[in-house]
Amino acid sequence: MRLNVTVNGERRQADDVWEGESLLYVLRERLGLPGSKNACEQGECGSCTVYLDDVPACSCLVAAGQAEGREVRTVEGLAEGEALDPVQQSFVDAGAVQCGFCTPGLVVAAHDLLDRVPDPSDEEIREALAGNLCRCTGYEKILDAVRTAAGAR
């Protein structure tokens, strides 16, 4: 099938998409956007988190066809040119990144949290990001990053 989807504000098209493909697969393998990561491909780690029509979703659980005609925003679409989004900047500043594999998903999830709850409590941050696994950082600095980003936005 042919898939039409707006990604990071750009209308994109992919041909010969197989019905069983996930949105994550389309983004990574067909649209040249490997920023969203594949760490489990079954909805258990959050590394593939993207916005689908402004709602965060595990793109590995979204069938490609479900994205037809919709808007997707990935980690590649958060920065304005050279200027990092405040969430991205605060992840760098706080030292919330180690290997960085979980980072794209966490940045999108944190971005969404702050859109919904501009000044979240620690409890709210912990709960909101509990679906995004990180094996390196121990999360503590991620918490700092989200607090800082909340202040900066």
Cα 69 to Cα 2, 49, 57, 108, distances in angstroms: 11, 19, 16, 21
Q: Pairing between strand 71-73 and 3-7? A: parallel
17/107 with CB nearer ligand FES: 107
Q: How far is the CB of 105 from ligand FES (least distance, A)?
A: 8
Contact between 147 and other proteins by CB under 8 A: the answer reads: no
Residues contacting residue 93 through CB under 8 Å, at least 6 positions apart: 145, 148
Total of residues contacting other proteins (CB under 8 A):
59
Strand positions, DSSP E, 40-108: 49-52, 55-58, 71-73
Q: Which residue in the set 7, 24, 48, 78 belongs to the binding site for other proteins (CB under 8 A)?
A: 78
Is residue 21 within 8 Å of residue 1, measured between CB atoms? Answer: no
Q: How far is the CB of 111 from ligand FES (least distance, A)?
A: 16
Q: How far is the CB of 123 from ligand FES (least distance, A)?
A: 21
Q: Which of residues 34-73 bind other proteins (CB under 8 A)?
A: 34-42, 44-45, 47
Is residue 86 within 8 Å of residue 150, measured between CB atoms? Answer: no
8/38 with CB nearer ligand FES: 38
Contact between 7 and other proteins by CB under 8 A: the answer reads: no
Q: How far is the CB of 53 from other proteins (least distance, A)?
A: 20
